[in-house]
Amino acid sequence: MASGVVAGRSRRGVLGVTAVGVAVLLSSSAACGIATKRFSDDAAVGETIRAVRIEGAAGSVRLRVGPSASVHRTVSYLDGRPGVTHRVEGDVLVLRECEVRNCWVDYEVVVPEGVTVSGGLDSGSVDVEGASTVNLRVSSGEVKVRRVSGAVNVKAESGSVDLVDVKGKVAVEAESGDVSARDVGAATLRAESGSVTAQGVDGAVDASAQSGSVTVRLTKAAGVKATTNSGSVQVTVPKGEYRVSAHTDSGDVDNGIGDYRDSPNHLELNADSGDVTVRFG
């Protein structure tokens, strides 16, 4: 039957499925009498870890800070039981995918404060806290990053991206999903389909949304470039002098801060279809 064919495919052949797709796969397998097997285990990591690299296909990764490194995983599989799926390369903890078909791993990892985090995941969520830098690519799934001392770069094809308390610069590109950044350094934020929100930004902002609103709130005077094709632009800045260039093809412009042409802090605000509002706050 058709669902049996799906269950028999290589796991690598279904890496691009979304979380919904995974659920469908499980349901189809159950309907055909194929039991989904699951187990959890723990592993202490004796080596000194300074970096984490994600090489996952499907599953989730949750990374937290603790005095010693450890890996807890929950493995779901349909065929052969997988072996160990993580390894250590020098001071790098590598979180891998299963080496057997029809298998996915959810990781809960504890590492020392200030590791670097990099890599990618094809289908699943990533939740990182307490890193020094983050550089991630996720094809389908949510990305949450908190309390990072350096820069954060995220590329997401389908799923929301949420950044909180990042001391360095942030750069996000999301094809489908909302982008949110709060209490961060200078920010470059892009959303093809979804809204962009940047609150408590300590630096310049370059934000754009093809289909969705753009909302920006600065903590200190700086430049802002905010653009949306379909949606509103709302910018709140501290008291000061700003050079304002605001335009909308279909909507209203509400400038409540004036326009000082000699100011180095340039607010370039554009909406093709929607209102543009700039206020002190």
What's the average model confidence in pLDDT over 136-163? 98
State the Rg of the chain over Cα. Answer: 22
In a shared domain, residues 134 and 211: no
pLDDT-wise least confident of 9-13, 203-207, 249-253: 9-13
Q: In terms of domains, do 57 and 177 share one?
A: no
Highest-confidence segment of 2-11, 12-21, 24-33, 48-57 = 48-57
Over 50: is that where the pLDDT of 138 sits? yes
Split at pLDDT 50, 70, 90, the class of 1 is very low
pTM for the full model? 0.86
Least confident of 29-33, 93-97, 166-170: 29-33
Identify whether residues 21 and 116 lie together within a single domain: yes
Residue 36 pLDDT > 90: no
User: d(Cα 272, Cα 202) in Å, to the nearest integer?
Assistant: 27
| Ordered DSSP codes for 6-66 | HHHS-GGGGTT--HHHHHHHHHHHHHTT-PPEEEEEEEEE-S---EEEEEEEES-EEEEE-
Together in a domain, 236 and 137 = no
**Lookup: tokens for 82:** 């997988």
Rounded CA gap, 179 and 175, in Å?
10
| Same structural domain, 172 and 275 | yes
Residue 4 has pLDDT above 80, yes or no: no
Residues 180 and 147 in one domain: no
Q: Pick from 118, 151, 184: which residue ends a domain? A: 151
Question: For residue 208, is pLDDT > 60?
Answer: yes
pLDDT digits (tens, 9 = 90+) for 51-91: 999 998 899 999 999 999 999 999 999 988 999 999 999 99
Q: Are residues 96 and 165 in the same domain?
A: no
Asked if pLDDT for residue 28 goes beyond 80, the answer is no
User: Above 90 in pLDDT, residue 192?
Assistant: yes
**Same domain for 186 and 88:** no
- What confidence score (pLDDT) does residue 85 get? 97
Residue type, 114: G
Boundaries of domain holding 198? 160-281
Are 197 and 212 in contact, with CB atoms under 8 Å apart? no
* Residue 167 pLDDT class (50, 70, 90 cuts): very high
The reply to whether 197 and 262 lie within a common domain is yes
* Domain boundary pick from 96, 125, 151: 151
Domain check: are 241 and 191 in the same one?
A: yes
Rounded to the nearest integer, the mean pLDDT of the chain is 90
Q: What is the DSSP string of 160-203?
A: -EEEEEESS-EEEEEEES-EEEEEESSEEEEEEES-EEEEEESS
169 and 268 co-located in one domain? yes
Binned at pLDDT 50, 70 and 90, residue 20 comes out as very low
Number of domains present in the structure of the chain: 2
For residues 278 and 195, membership in a common domain is answered with yes
Tell me the two tokens of residue 85. Answer: 């799926």
Residue at which a domain ends, from 101, 126, 151: 151
How far is it, in rounded angstroms, from Cα 57 to Cα 111?
21
pLDDT confidence of residue 3:
38
